[in-house]
Structure 1
Amino acid sequence: MIEPTTSCTTIDGFTLPYTIIEAKSSSARGVILYFHGGGLIFGQSNDLPQDYIDILTENYHLVLVSYRLAPESNIDVIINDALTQYDTIQQQYPTFPIFTFGRSAGAFLAMLTAHHRNVDGVIDFYGYCRIHVPAFLRPNKQYQALSSQITPAILNQLIQSKPLISGPIQTRYPIYLYVRGQAQWMAYLGIQSSTQSDYNISPKQLKAFPPTFIVHCTGDPDVPYSESEHIHRYINHSHFKSLSLESHDFDRDVNETAQSIYRQAVQFLDQIVQSNGGEA
């Protein structure tokens, strides 16, 4: 397990650890900021299998960033954490192109970071660019029956009194299962209205986005496939890899298909670097 190697401090004095895995090549082409998934409720920064890390770090520095989790911290805090991590890394690598990469909710943060900062490209694995989505506002059928067995007493035991940046799936997934199954996700993220512009990147804003590599499974039971179609429709320079699978995180376990897609994502970044004038 890769442990965080350094940290930065947020405007409210919270310490955010992150890990830099340097490129194997002596002439790195850029920096990839990785945001983990988990519905903004569970997960940890070091969840990428080593096989994928090896592919990403052939020619790029990889930074595994952390952010505070909901419901202990609200969505505004989470977004600010993501931007703080970007600002810190940008200061460390001022001459390198910086790319944001996220899986699921991490892709949402990767896209929000690209919206607010000068990001050179985005890798979006089964993510979304907005939260005003019918599937996010109503009970998720996959989780509904199971979530009804989770009582307020159980939830209170799982929710911590202090902010946390790492949420093991064993203790945190039941919270996500409950909030999605009972259509309480927005409330637990501290969102007053799902239509707030802070949490929804508009089609007009997507048109100004940097090049974006998108992957999504057609039968995703968690994040609608149509969200990636929406992103691809509006970002002028985007590549959409569609997988005919009934899964959400197709790359959870290392497999040949996933490894191939990671290589394609890196090739996509290579093309951006080349079109922008070569290596840093």
Structure 2
Amino acid sequence: MYTTESYTYQSTHNIDLHMTLHRANANRKHVTILYFHGGGLLYGERDDLPQVYIDQFLKAGYDLLTCDYPLAPAVSLDVILQSTFEICMYYINNHQDVFNLEDQRVILFGRSAGAYLALKTTDMLQKQANITPLAIISLYGYPGFEADEFNQPSPYYLQYPKVPEQFIKVLESRHPITNGPIQERFNLYLKARQEGQWLHYLQPDLPIHTYTVSDDALKQLPPTILAASTGDPDVPYRLSKQMSRNIPKATCLTVYGDTHDFDRNTMDVTGATIYQQILTWLDTI
């Protein structure tokens, strides 16, 4: 039986960021995995990780902290990144007093857009706070938004019916939100990728290369395990392979198929197998 607890941190932008702590009860590693969900930074929920994978981490002795971040376009990419940086610092600085956990060591874990946040936030932690996480787990992630596929209409998403403009107007909130169920907000991402206008919705304040985890920054990252599908129609597989060549202690797990989020279908053993490989790898670092 595992326990879950809820916490809230108010960011410097006055946004309430909620967290769910899944606490391991046995074989404790005294390491906390901070998880960021996917959804193109436009939709998603912190508690979207299937229970079967949560159980794998907890049985291995890792605590798991799933984290909110505000969603675009109500906030910019800059605010999103500042929020993930702050929530990591909040945990590290308060692991004992607030969370009642003995060790401040963290692993950053993300899926898709969440993997980008894990990578970029690690870069920020290193440069701004001289803190390096123990490791990074990147599932079908990317280092930034400069890939051609992200800046032109997506052939994959053009197969879907075109999203009418009025649907998007209903979804665009003036107030920051941190919880965006896929059933309600997927059309935002779909329209952004259909039109090749993803960055328009992310509203970056600076030139786009500013938000990329550069090759030099990748060379400074801690041990990282990446996994992606060869035929991923959403995020090119080559991005994970390229990152793995630049990160000094990197392992890249390859899934042969054409699915983006290969771990979504828990009836397929692929996801559980990859997570077990991740746990085996973590034992070696």
User: Distance in 2 between the 1:4 and 1:250 partners?
Assistant: 28
Q: For residue 100 of structure 2, what is the aligned residue in structure 1?
A: none
8 Å Cα contact 1:215/1:241 also seen in 2: yes
Query: Of the candidates 233, 246, 257, which is equivalent to residue 245 of structure 1?
Result: 257
Aligned-pair Cα RMSD in Å: 1.7
Q: For residue 121 of structure 1, what is the aligned residue in structure 2?
A: 135
1:142 positional shift: 1.2
Secondary structure at the counterpart of residue 19 of structure 1 = strand
8 Å Cα contact 2:78/2:205 also seen in 1: no
Secondary structure at the counterpart of residue 196 of structure 1 = helix
Could you tell me which runs of 5 or more consecutive residues in structure 1 were left unpaired when the two chains were aligned: 273-280
1:191 positional shift: 2.4
* Paired positions, count: 269
Q: For residue 77 of structure 1, what is the aligned residue in structure 2?
A: 79
Q: For residue 213 of structure 1, what is the aligned residue in structure 2?
A: 225
8 Å Cα contact 2:114/2:141 also seen in 1: yes
2:111 counterpart of 1:98: no
Return the letter of the residue paired with 2:140.
Y
Secondary structure at the counterpart of residue 264 of structure 2 = coil
Q: For residue 276 of structure 1, what is the aligned residue in structure 2?
A: none
1:194 positional shift: 5.6
Q: For residue 22 of structure 2, what is the aligned residue in structure 1?
A: 21
8 Å Cα contact 2:4/2:21 also seen in 1: no
* Residue correspondence of structure 1 range 95-244 to structure 2 within 5 A: 95-117=103-125, 118-146=132-160, 149-191=162-204, 195-197=208-210, 199-244=211-256
8 Å Cα contact 2:42/2:185 also seen in 1: yes
Could you tell me which runs of 5 or more consecutive residues in structure 2 were left unpaired when the two chains were aligned: 97-102, 126-131
Return the letter of the residue paired with 2:35.
Y
1:70 positional shift: 0.7
Per the alignment, do residues 179 and 3 of structure 1 end up closer, same or farther by CA in structure 2, a change over 3 Å counting? farther
Cα offsets for 1:188-219 (capped at 9, x unmatched):
0002666432x111111111110000000000
2:78 counterpart of 1:66: no
User: Distance in 1 between the 2:133 and 2:159 partners?
Assistant: 41
Secondary structure at the counterpart of residue 79 of structure 2 = helix
TM-score (norm 2): 0.90
User: Distance in 1 between the 2:207 and 2:252 partners?
Assistant: 26
1:29 positional shift: 3.4
Secondary structure at the counterpart of residue 5 of structure 1 = strand
Secondary structure at the counterpart of residue 180 of structure 2 = coil
TM-score (norm 1): 0.91
Cα offsets for 1:203-253 (capped at 9, x unmatched):
111111100000000000000001001101100100110111111000002
8 Å Cα contact 1:186/1:192 also seen in 2: no
Per the alignment, do residues 186 and 40 of structure 1 end up closer, same or farther by CA in structure 2, a change over 3 Å counting? same
Per the alignment, do residues 89 and 168 of structure 1 end up closer, same or farther by CA in structure 2, a change over 3 Å counting? same
User: Distance in 2 between the 1:3 and 1:96 partners?
Assistant: 19
Secondary structure at the counterpart of residue 141 of structure 1 = coil
